[in-house]
Amino acid sequence: MHVVSNLAKSCLLATVIFWIIAGTDYMDMDMILVIFLSFIPIFFIATIVILGSIYVIFWLRVNENFSKRQVYKTFYPYYAIIAFGIAVFGIISSGFDIYIIAFFTSAFITTSQSWIWFAKEKQR
Amino acid sequence: MKHILIGIAAILFSILFYEQRIGLNLSIFSLATIAILAFYNPKAFKNRYTIIHTILYIATAIVAFMQHSYISIIANCVAFFTLIGAVSEGKTSIYVYWLNGLYTSIAGFFHRNFEVNDDVEKVSLKKDIDIIHLTKLIGIPLVFIVVFILLYKNGNPMFNNLVSKISFEFINVQWILFCVLGYYLFSNISKPIIVESATLADLNTKNELVKPDDVSEEKLKKEKQLGTTLLGLLNLLIVLYIITDIASLIIGEDTSAPTLSSLVHNGIYTLIASIVIAIVIILYFFRGNLNFYTENRTLKNLTFLWIFLNIILIALIAIKNQNYITSFGLTYKRIGVHIYILLTLAGLITTFLKVLNIKNMVFLFRRNTQIAFIVLILMSTINWDQTITAYNLKHANGFDVNYLINLSNRNAILLNDKKDALSISESDKNRISTKYRTYMITLRQRDWQEWSYENFLIEDNNSNSE
pLDDT single digits (tens) B132-151: 777 778 878 887 887 788 77
User: Highest-confidence range of A115-124, B89-98, B260-269, B452-461, by mean pLDDT?
Assistant: B89-98
**Total number of domains in chain A:** 1
Q: Is the dihedral of CA B204, B206, B209, B210 positive or negative?
A: negative
* pLDDT tier, B123 (very low <50, low <70, confident <90, very high otherwise): low
Structure-model confidence comparison of residues B293 and B243, the more confident one? B243
CB < 8 Å from A in window 88-147 of B: 99, 102-103, 106-107, 110-111, 113-114, 117-118, 147
pLDDT for B382: 94
| Least confident among A6-15, A36-45, B230-239, B415-424 | B415-424
Supply the pLDDT for residue B173: 87
User: Comparing A86-95, B179-188, B208-217, B426-435, which segment has the lowest mean pLDDT?
Assistant: B208-217
Select from B446, B438, B381, B447 the least CA-distant residue to B413.
Answer: B438
In chain A, whose CA is at the least distance from the CA of B116? A120
- pLDDT tier at B3, thresholds 50, 70, 90: confident
Interface predicted TM-score (ipTM) of this complex, two decimals: 0.94
Is the domain of B170 the same as that of B315? no
Query: What's phi and psi for B295, nearest 5 deg?
Result: -100, 40
Residues of chain B with pLDDT > 70, as a percent, come to 92
Q: Is residue B212 part of a domain?
A: no
Rounded mean pLDDT, B293-318: 89
User: What's the average model confidence in pLDDT over A57-82?
Assistant: 93
Residue B128 is predicted with a pLDDT of 53
For residues B179 and B237, membership in a common domain is answered with no
Predicted pLDDT at B295? 83
A-chain residues near B99 (CB < 8 A): 77, 81
Instruction: State the average pLDDT for chain A.
Output: 91
- For chain B, give the mean pLDDT: 87
Q: Quick one: average pLDDT of B162-178? A: 81
For the stretch B417-444, pLDDT in tens is 988 888 888 999 999 999 999 999 999 9
Single residue among B359, B376, B395 that ends a domain in this structure: B359
Range of the domain at A89: 3-120
CB A6 within 8 A of CB A33: no
Inform me whether the C-beta atom of residue A77 falls under 8 Å from chain B C-beta atoms. Answer: yes
The answer to whether B103 contacts A77, with C-beta atoms less than 8 Å apart, is: yes
Q: Which of A1-15, B162-176, B307-321 is the least confident region?
A: B162-176
Crossing angle (nearest 10°) for helices B384-394 and B332-356:
110
B150 to chain A: which residues are within 8 Å by CB? 29, 32
Alpha-carbon gap, residue B353 to B361, rounded angstroms: 11
pLDDT surpasses 80 at B354: yes
Is residue B19 domain-shared with residue B115, that is, in the same domain? yes
The pLDDT of residue B309: 92
Please tell me the predicted confidence (pLDDT) of residue B255: 60
| Count of domains for chain B | 3
Query: What's the confidence (pLDDT) of residue A91?
Result: 96
Answer yes or no: is B109 within a domain.
Answer: yes
pLDDT at B124: 54
Residues of A in contact with B197 (CB under 8 A): 73-74, 77
Q: Please state, as a whole number, how many other Cβ atoms lie within 10 Å of the Cβ of residue B352.
A: 18
Question: DSSP class of residue A52?
Answer: I
Q: Is residue B366 part of a domain?
A: no
B197 and B254 housed in the same domain: no
Question: What pLDDT score was predicted for residue B456?
Answer: 87
B118, pLDDT greater than 80: no
Of A24, A78, A115, the CB nearest to B177: A24
> How many other CB atoms are there within 10 angstroms of residue A97's CB atom?
13
Partner-chain contact B114 A72, CB within 8 Å = yes
Cβ atoms of residues B23 and B446 within 8 Å: yes
Q: What percent of chain A has pLDDT over 90?
A: 76
Same domain, B270 and B163: no
Region of poorest pLDDT, from A43-57, A76-90, B261-275? B261-275
Residues B194 and B94 in one domain: yes
Domain that holds residue B147: 2-201
Given B342, B359, B376, the domain boundary residue is B359
Residue B197 Cα, gap to closest chain A Cα (Å): 6
Nearest in space to B410 (alpha carbons), one of B429, B433, B386, B392: B386
Q: Which of B103, B115, B135, B178 to mutate to test the interface with A (most CBs of A within 10 A)?
A: B103
Interchain proximity A20–B102, CB inside 8 Å:
no
User: Given B147, B166, B201, which residue is the final one in a domain?
Assistant: B201
- According to DSSP H, which parts of B153-216 are helical? 157-165, 173-190, 196-203
